[in-house]
Structures are given as C-alpha cells and as structure tokens.
C-alpha cells in the first residue's frame, strides 16, 4: 500500500533533528516540522509497525490510568476521579485501530480497481478540558492507525497531563520502534498557537473537539476540518416507558464524570401522564430531588451571563462546572451525602438549565402535555447541533417520529447515553463525534484520503480466458 503524502516546500529533510524531544514543544513551527519528519519515517513502515505503535499508547493508557487519571483530576479540578481513570482505560482498550483499515475492490471484464485509504499527513488537533488526555489517546490511536501524525493544541487547563501523557507515549514508541514525535503537543497552548496550527501549510487536516467557538474557528479556517462540536442532549420520556429503567439510565448517563460528556443527558421532557411517577422513579433510583425554591437558588448560583451586547448569553459558572452533586446541592441550600451522583428538579422550559449545556450533575425535568410536545421541545432545545438525543419509550412509532425529527448523529432508545458508544450497547467508541462536518463517531478511516489503483484488462481471475 502506498501511503506517502506529497512533500511541500517547507517540509523538513528527513533526519533525527527533533529526536529526544518526545513530542513536547513550545514552538508551533518546530512541532509541525517534527511531526512531519515523524510522518516521513512512519510512511516507510508497514501496518504491523503501526499496530505496535498503537499498542504502546493503549498499554500506557490502561496500565497508567490511575496515575494519569489522578493527574488529570488534580489539574482540571472537574469531573470525578473514578471516571477520569475509567475513561483512559476504556479509550486505551476500545478505540478503533488498524483493524478498521480496509480497502474496497471493483473487479470485472475490464480488470481491477482497488480503493485504498491513505493518510493525510500531519493533522492539527484541538482537545477539550473535559477529557484532555483521553481525547489525545483516542485521536492518536485512530490517526496513527491510518498512517498520520499529529500536533495537538490542548485546552490550557489540561495542558500538563496532556504533555505528560504525550511524553510517555513517544518515549515508549521511540524505544521500541525508533520513531519519536508521532504525537506532538504545544506545552503552553494559546488561541494564537491554535491559530498558527490552523494556518500552517504543513497541516493537512484539522480535527477539533470542543464547544461552539472552536467549532466555528475550525470551520472558518480554510482547511478541511473534522469538527466534533457541542451538544445539549435532550431526553424524552413517554407514557409507555419503563420508568425504573429510564431513571437508572438517566442517572448513569447524566452523572458520569459529573455530566462532562458531550453526549450526556442534559434536560428531560416527560409527558404529564407519567411525570409524577417518573420523578418518584428518579428518587427510588438514588437521585435527590430539589424543590422549586432550591432549584431557583441553584440556578442563581450556577448559571452566569457571559459575553457582551448581542453576544450576551447564559453559561455554566466555572465554580460549579463538573462539580459533585453535593456541591451543587449546598449552593441550593441543601446538605446531601457526598456519594449522591445526581440531583434533579421540576422546572419550566424558561429555566436556563434547559437551553444551557450545563456540564454539571443537575438535570431539569419539564412537564409536557403529550409526546409530540415533548419531542418539539427536545428539538428546540437541542439547538440544531444534531449531536445526541435520547428517548425512553416502548412505542416504536414515537421512537421513529423522534428519530426523524431530531436528526441527531446519535439517537439512543432505552439506555444511557454512553450505550450509543458501545459502552453497554452495540457499536464502537470515540470521544470525537463529528456532527457539524458529518463524519459521526470518528474512526481511522475518518482521517484518510481515498486513492484508487486501477489494473486495466487483467487480474480479474474469474473472467473468461482472453
Ligand atoms: P472549549 O470550546 O472551551 O475548548 C475546546 C478547545 O478549543 C480548547 O482546547 C480551547 O482552548 C480551544 N478553543 C476555544 N476557542 C477557540 C478558538 N476560537 N480558536 C481555537 N481554539 C479554541 O470546550 P471545553 O470546555 O474544553 O469542552 C467542552 C465542550 O466540548 C462542550 O461544548 C462539549 O459538548 C464539547 N465536546 C464535544 C465532543 C464531541 O465529540 N462532539 C466531545 C467532547 C467535548
């Protein structure tokens, strides 16, 4: 398989100029040059070496998940330690790798055409604070499986664990395979360094995972971009749902890592007929219900206004984003046990917790007259991101209707959000889910260019002798 990308004028000559840096750079130009050099070296190797390289990333993510997860928790100060650890292990174990690489073949009277999937070269990567090292682990496995190398601009608040993980990956890969800097990282990332990566002529493709601002920046960059943007996943519960199962699922999904997942349940629309039993089922399953006075107090404390003029909007307060349910409850004037995973309460749709991607373990429940009203509100408050939506129902017509109307990349029925990534459901995993640009749950093939190799009039061995 031919996998070389064209060398541009500014590409470095091959050689060990950056060997020993283990991927950690302060200068974007040097990082891109090192990643380009690593790409040239990787292009000389076969699929078996890619598999070996990825094995090191997987092994370190799994074996060192406690140490690295604890570092991520201590640095970012959001989410829950047990899930920081679990995310690294899960991504190490389950991110699609070389096994996802495949070719297509057309054969017939006029010979043979083979379509192979070639790397782009060096990919510019932006990662979120919600999963700093886990996103790098997942992106690196998929991108290297496809033969690319990467330069990462991490979120500044998760930069240290990101750089440490990258250093460990590269060191192990260099020792075994003899190539350094397959994953490069900017140690002191800024918006300027992100901009420099976007503009760099040796960056062949961009992959961003983050909120609305970075999604817009990537789409305006003038480069091909894979954009894993924000979500505000709504849940609909209709009158046919298994309420106990719905409650368990909502708690599992919405409380995971204190609601930091982009796919996590963020607001729930319940038909009136089962609203009260649904609230009771939530309590039965271990979530704590706030009364309306407590919900008001929490809203005042945890939702703030940001931006100026026309751009002024509600946003989660940094003080409460990703904090434990007991911390949120305290702000609502309530003392609850520190092991409570989720708090919830009845609100109307005007409460900012409904439109805002809150990323904290409080979920608003809105009473709706009918399933049609619930689906219409779910559509409205998903904001057209087309990211993730969820229904709990045993009525296949309602499921079908909601699936069609929502038009989301992920549509989950009767399970927690993560079941759609193969964690308790079927399918495979990635923490970069590209909605705006349409690639969906990213795999190695997302990061490839199609190349066709045609043999004319020969090699169709099933054909009649000429
Ligand atoms: P964020 O948007 O604040 O930051 C994400 C990254 O983008 C960071 O590295 C940040 O430094 C960078 N950035 C921000 N503005 C930029 C700009 N104008 N130019 C260049 N870079 C810029 O998001 P966050 O708080 O780190 O992460 C949470 C967000 O990410 C949520 O909105 C969540 O839904 C989303 N997310 C999406 C997915 C997905 O797969 N679709 C996965 C995880 C997180």
437 within ligand 1 shell (Cβ under 6 A): no
Residues in Cβ contact with 50 at an 8 Å cutoff, skipping those fewer than 6 apart: 42, 98, 144, 145, 147
Which pLDDT score, from 0 to 100, does residue 463 have? Answer: 80
CB contact at 8 A, 268 and 289: no
Q: Using a 6 Å cutoff on CB, does residue 217 contact ligand 1?
A: yes
Full DSSP string of 32-58 = HHHHHHHHHHHHTS-HHHHHHHHHHHH
Q: Under a CB-based contact definition with an 8 Å cutoff, are residues 233 and 249 in contact?
A: no
Q: What is the pLDDT of residue 11?
A: 43
Which of 87, 211, 264 to mutate for ligand 1's pocket (most ligand atoms within 8 Å of CB)?
211
Burial (Cβ within 10 Å: 0-12, 13-18, ≥19) of residue 22: buried
Residue 88 CB burial class (10 angstroms; 0-12, 13-18, ≥19): buried
Closest residue (by CA) to atom 3 of ligand 1? 211
What pLDDT was estimated at residue 6? 47
126 within ligand 1 shell (Cβ under 6 A): yes
Distance 336 CA to ligand 1 centre (A): 31
Residue (of 125, 133, 49) closest to 89 by Cα position? 133
Q: 386 CA distance to ligand 1 centroid (A)?
A: 17
155 C-beta closer than 6 A to ligand 1 = yes
Tokens for 245? 């199962």
C-alpha 123 – ligand 1 centre gap (Å):
17
Enter the DSSP assignment of 423: S
Segments of the chain with pLDDT less than 70: 1-16, 465-466
What is the position in ligand 1's atom list of the atom closest to the CA of 229?
Answer: 41
**Residue whose CA lies nearest to ligand 1 atom number 13:** 214
Q: What is the pLDDT of residue 464?
A: 73
pTM exceeding 0.85: yes
Ligand 1 centre and the CA of 180: distance in Å? 28
Q: Which residues, 6+ apart, have CB-to-CB distance to 464 below 8 Å? A: none
Task: Give kind and range of the element (H or E) at residue 168.
Answer: helix 159-177
Taking CA atoms only, the protein residue closest to ligand 1 atom 26 is 128
Which residue's C-alpha comes closest to atom 15 of ligand 1?
Answer: 214
Residue 436 Cβ contacting ligand 1 at under 6 Å:
no
């Amino acid at each position: 398989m031919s996998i070389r990308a064209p060398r541009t004028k500014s590409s470095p000559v091959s050689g060990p100029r950056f060997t020993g840096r283990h991927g950690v750079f302060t200068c974007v130009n040097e990082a891109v040059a090192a990643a380009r050099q690593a790409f040239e070296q990787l292009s000389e190797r076969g699929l078996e070496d890619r598999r070996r390289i990825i094995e090191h990333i997987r092994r370190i993510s799994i074996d060192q998940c406690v140490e690295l997860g604890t570092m991520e928790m201590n640095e970012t100060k959001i989410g829950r330690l047990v899930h920081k650890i679990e995310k690294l292990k899960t991504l190490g174990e389950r991110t699609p790798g070389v096994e996802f690489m495949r070719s297509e073949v057309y054969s017939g009277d006029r010979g043979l055409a083979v379509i192979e999937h070639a790397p782009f070269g060096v990919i510019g990567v932006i990662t979120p604070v919600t999963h700093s090292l886990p996103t790098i682990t997942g992106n690196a496995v998929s991108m290297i499986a496809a033969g690319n190398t990467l330069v990462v601009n991490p979120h500044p608040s998760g930069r240290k664990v990101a750089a440490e993980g990258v250093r460990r990956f590269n060191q192990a890969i260099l020792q075994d395979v003899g190539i350094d800097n397959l994953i490069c990282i900017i140690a002191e990332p800024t918006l300027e360094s992100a901009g420099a990566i976007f503009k760099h002529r040796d960056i062949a493709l961009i992959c961003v995972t983050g909120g609305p601002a970075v999604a817009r920046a990537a789409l305006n960059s003038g480069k091909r971009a894979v954009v894993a943007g924000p979500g505000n996943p709504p849940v609909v519960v209709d009158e046919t749902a298994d309420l106990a199962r719905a409650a368990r699922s909502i708690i599992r999904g919405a409380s995971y890592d204190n609601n930091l997942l982009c796919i996590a349940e963020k607001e729930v629309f319940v038909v009136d007929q089962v609203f009260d039993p649904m609230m009771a089922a939530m309590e039965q399953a271990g979530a704590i219900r706030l009364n309306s006075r407590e919900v008001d107090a929490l809203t005042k404390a945890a939702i703030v206004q940001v931006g100026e003029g026309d751009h002024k909007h509600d946003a989660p307060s940094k003080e409460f984003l990703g904090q434990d349910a007991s911390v949120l409850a305290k702000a609502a004037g309530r003392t609850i046990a520190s092991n409570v995973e989720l708090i919830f309460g009845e609100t109307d749709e005007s409460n900012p917790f409904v439109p805002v991607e809150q990323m904290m373990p409080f979920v608003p429940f809105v009473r709706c007259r009918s399933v049609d009203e619930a689906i219409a509100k779910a559509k409205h408050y998903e904001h057209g991101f087309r990211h993730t939506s969820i229904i709990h129902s045993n009525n296949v017509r309602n499921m079908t209707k909601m699936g069609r109307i929502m038009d989301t990349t992920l549509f989950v029925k009767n399970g927690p959000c993560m079941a759609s990534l193969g964690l308790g459901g079927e399918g495979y995993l990635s923490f970069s889910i590209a909605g705006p640009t349409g690639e969906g749950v990213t795999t190695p093939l997302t990061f490839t260019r199609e190349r066709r190799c045609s043999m004319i009039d020969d090699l169709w061995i099933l054909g009649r002798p000429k």
